[in-house]
Amino acid sequence: MEYRPLGQTGLEVSSIGLGCVTFGREIDKATSFDVLDHALERGINLLDTAEATRLASPSGSSASGWPIVGCGTASCWRRRSQAR
């Protein structure tokens, strides 16, 4: 994976990002976690959590992708550190 500097922050982000707007909307929580795991395992660390990620789903539920992104990334990093 290629990484690029994020402005002058000293951080580097992957050149490929993952859009998370479908998490909790078009795809369920379990599938969202699978997608996050797949991306993180391949070095993607740029997650697009735009405003639309927090909006209600088209079905009218209050499903939000933000908690899925937070829980999914935390659980993936925890599993990785335990495997070392």
Over residues 42-81, the pLDDT tens digits come to: 999 998 877 654 554 555 454 556 566 766 566 655 555 5
Percent helix, percent strand, percent coil in the chain, to nearest 5: 45, 15, 40
Contact 13/46 with Cβ under 8 angstroms? yes
Distance CA 35, CA 49 (A): 14
Assess whether pLDDT exceeds 90 at residue 36: no
- Whole-prediction pTM: 0.66
